[in-house]
């Protein structure tokens, strides 16, 4: 397994986006992140305001249309095209930074609460709540969710130092971190020799022009990623604070092979070895199988399954029935499919490690598939409802201003027909499966160089099973959530 260019060579070998004429200048601009945050903060305000005072019809309210149709779709597009841009522009961090001028936190995040366990619970809770209460159809509920997100983040980050909310609590952040592992860009060092000669580590500790006794004028990485030991995009918010903090101009936003970091067994800064992180293993399983569950919840056959379960349980409440479905898809299915692949790999490759240790090594190969399944799901909503933002914005202006400043709403504007979106979804699913098999084979080449093909086969079969199940789900009639009008 090769290491990233920034740590294996004296000089960075890829293309540095920060050196591009226009885009590079914009990204290196000291106030770029603030400008992006202010734009997204304005969007968040609009979502909350219209969620409360706008119509309760989901497809006619900016709260539900912007959140569940456009935000999710554009999120995965940005992650796949460039990287973690939405964490870069997170408006919560802008509000938090303003609040920290009034109150500076002094406590460190408790070690007993370290890792991603809280974020995992919240991730699962959001998926469950979304399905149970049909959040996509509740503008006011969506507005409350946005407010709750800001309140929780403020509570955490005004109590604890650094980016505690981002690292340990935020479920959207964990989604972004995993998805960005298949992004084409990565924050890297330009020259390893320069880092070796640096004695201040400003990239992580912050820049003090006058030495250690002077105040920090530019903070370093709040998530504790020491650049010379950083591998990949996990826990990286693309904030580019390290770019501003480095006194040697030695940070690059460089191109790299997407997904290769998932096969890297080396220790990485602030994370350790991936195989030694049970919380990340569970997070990946929730991420992948949660994509199948979330897509399953939007198709017509799910109602027949729920009716059958209701009958079998003697008329159990909807929450119980949905809970059974969730346990089946995000708990039992991973144990059977992934656990089976680990046991098979142990047998065919004569691996002395336990099935859990094998799982902890290979599970990251499922991430490309998970990313593409989420993309296929969100692509349906985005492409079938891409133009809905126009009439809904026109209607919102009327609601807020009292007169049609942008004209009467063009309610006929929607997007692509669902039938034309399916080939795109199918392409994403297949592409993700191929990528996951490729990563699994890279892991096998490292762990079982003489039996790589044999060791990869169980994981290729597991990936195929998940992919076929996902394609079946995508092939079913979709619920037109937030894309049509008047119903």
pTM of the complete model:
0.93
Distance CA(402)–CA(398), nearest Å, equals: 5
List the beta bridge partners of residue 254.
16, 186
Same domain? For 222 and 307 the reply is no
459 and 395 in a single domain? The answer is yes
- Among 233, 263, 293, the domain-final residue is 263
Task: Return the ∠ at Cα 426 (arms to 424 and 430), rounded to 5°.
Answer: 120
**DSSP state for residue 262 in the 8-state scheme:** G
pLDDT (mean) for 67-86: 94
Residues 193, 130, single domain; the answer is yes
**Residue 209 DSSP code:** T
Q: Pick the closest to residue 225 from 6, 390, 406 (CA basis).
A: 6
Q: Which of 205, 237, 263 is the last residue of a domain?
A: 263
Residue 484 lies in a domain: no
Are 247 and 366 in a shared domain? no
Structure tokens at 251: 């940070």
Number of domains the chain is built from: 2
Quick count: other Cβ atoms within 10 Å of Cβ 43? 18
Mean per-residue pLDDT over the chain, rounded: 92
DSSP three-state, residue 14: coil
At 18 the three-state DSSP class reads helix
The DSSP result for 351-404, as a single string, is: --S-HHHHHHHHGGGGHHHHHHHHHHHHHHHHHHSGGGHHHHHHHHHHHHHSS-
Q: Are residues 315 and 378 in the same domain?
A: yes
Strand, coil or helix: 160: strand
Q: Are residues 50 and 108 in the same domain?
A: yes
Report yes or no: 284 and 366 within 8 Å, Cβ to Cβ: yes
Determine the straight-line distance between the first and last CA of the chain, rounded to whole angstroms: 53
Contact (Cβ atoms closer than 8 angstroms) between residue 4 and residue 256: yes
Distance (Å, whole) CA 377 – CA 398: 32
Tell me: the pLDDT tens digits for 145-158? Answer: 999 999 999 999 99
Q: 167, 223 in Cβ contact below 8 A? A: yes
Structure tokens at 60: 């006619």
CA distance 87 to 93: 9
- What's the domain range around 455? 274-475
- Last-in-domain residue among 244, 263, 282: 263
Decide if 480 is inside a domain.
no
pLDDT score recorded for residue 482: 40
| Claim to verify: residue 228 and residue 297 sit in the same structural domain | no
Angle, CA 274 vertex, CA 271 and CA 275 arms, to 5°: 140
Same-domain status, 224 and 290: no
DSSP conformation class of 107:
B
Alpha carbon distance 346, 360 (integer Å)? 13
pLDDT tens digit sequence for 82-104: 999 999 999 999 999 999 999 99
The yes-or-no verdict on residue 478 having pLDDT over 90 is no
- Residues 130 and 322 sit within 8 Å (Cβ to Cβ): no
In the predicted structure, residue 175 carries a pLDDT above the cut 70: yes
The answer to the question of residue 428 being in a domain is yes
**199 and 321 co-located in one domain:** no
pLDDT at position 302 = 87
Q: Is the pLDDT of residue 11 over 70?
A: no
- Residue 168 to residues 95, 206, 429, 453: CA-CA distances in angstroms? 19, 21, 30, 37
Q: d(Cα 174, Cα 166) in Å, to the nearest integer?
A: 8
**CB distance 143 to 52 below 8 Å:** yes
pLDDT of residue 358: 98
481 — pLDDT class (breaks 50, 70, 90): very low
Q: For 15-40, what is each residue's pLDDT tens digit?
A: 999 999 999 999 999 999 999 999 99
| Rg of the chain over all Cα atoms, to the nearest angstrom | 23
CA 13 from centroid of its chain's CA atoms = 27
At residue 75, does pLDDT exceed 80?
yes
- Alpha-carbon distances of 456 from 365, 367, 368, rounded to whole Å: 10, 16, 16
């Amino acid at each position: 397994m090769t290491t990233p260019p920034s740590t294996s060579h004296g000089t960075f070998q890829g293309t540095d986006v920060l050196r591009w004429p226009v885009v590079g200048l914009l990204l290196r601009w000291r106030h770029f992140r603030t400008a992006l945050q202010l734009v997204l903060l304005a969007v968040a305000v609009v979502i909350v305001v219209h969620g409360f005072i706008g119509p309760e019809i989901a497809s006619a309210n900016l709260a539900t249309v912007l959140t569940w149709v456009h935000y999710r779709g554009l999120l995965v597009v940005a992650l796949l095209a460039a990287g973690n841009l939405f964490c870069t522009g997170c408006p919560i961090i802008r509000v938090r930074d303003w609040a920290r001028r009034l109150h500076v936190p002094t406590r460190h995040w408790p070690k007993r609460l370290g890792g991603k366990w809280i974020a995992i619970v919240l991730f699962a809770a959001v998926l469950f709540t979304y399905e149970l209460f049909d959040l996509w159809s509740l503008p006011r509920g969506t507005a409350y969710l946005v407010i709750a997100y800001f309140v929780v983040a403020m509570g955490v980050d005004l109590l604890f130092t650094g980016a505690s909310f981002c690292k340990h609590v935020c479920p959207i952040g964990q989604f972004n971190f995993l998805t960005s592992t298949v992004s084409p860009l990565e924050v890297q060092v330009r020259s390893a020799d320069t880092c070796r000669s640096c004695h201040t580590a400003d990239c992580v500790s912050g820049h003090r022009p006058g030495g250690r006794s002077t105040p920090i004028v530019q903070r370093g990485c709040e998530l504790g990623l020491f650049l010379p030991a950083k591998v990949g995009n996990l826990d990286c918010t693309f904030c580019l604070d390290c770019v501003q903090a480095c006194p040697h101009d030695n940070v690059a936003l460089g191109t790299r092979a997407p997904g290769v970091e998932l096969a890297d067994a080396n220790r990485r800064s602030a994370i350790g070895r991936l195989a030694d992180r049970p919380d990340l293993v569970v997070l990946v399983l929730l991420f992948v199988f949660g994509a199948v569950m979330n897509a399953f919840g939007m198709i017509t056959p799910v109602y027949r399954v729920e009716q059958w379960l209701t009958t079998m349980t003697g008329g159990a409440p909807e929450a119980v029935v949905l809970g059974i479905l969730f346990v089946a898809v995000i708990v039992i299915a991973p144990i059977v499919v992934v656990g089976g692949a680990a046991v098979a790999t142990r047998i065919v490759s004569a691996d002395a490690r336990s099935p859990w240790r094998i799982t902890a090594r290979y599970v990251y190969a499922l991430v490309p598939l998970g990313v593409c399944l989420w993309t296929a799901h969100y692509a349906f909503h985005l492409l079938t409802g891409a133009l809905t933002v126009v009439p809904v914005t026109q209607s919102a202006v009327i609601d807020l201003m009292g007169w049609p400043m942008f004209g009467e709403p063009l309610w006929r504007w929607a997007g692509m027909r669902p039938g034309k979106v399916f080939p795109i979804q199918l392409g994403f699913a297949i592409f993700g499966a191929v990528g996951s098999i490729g990563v699994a084979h890279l892991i096998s080449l490292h762990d079982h160089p003489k039996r790589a093909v044999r060791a990869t086969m169980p994981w290729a079969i597991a990936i195929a099973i998940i992919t076929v199940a996902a394609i079946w789900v995508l092939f079913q009639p979709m619920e037109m959530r937030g894309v049509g009008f008047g119903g």
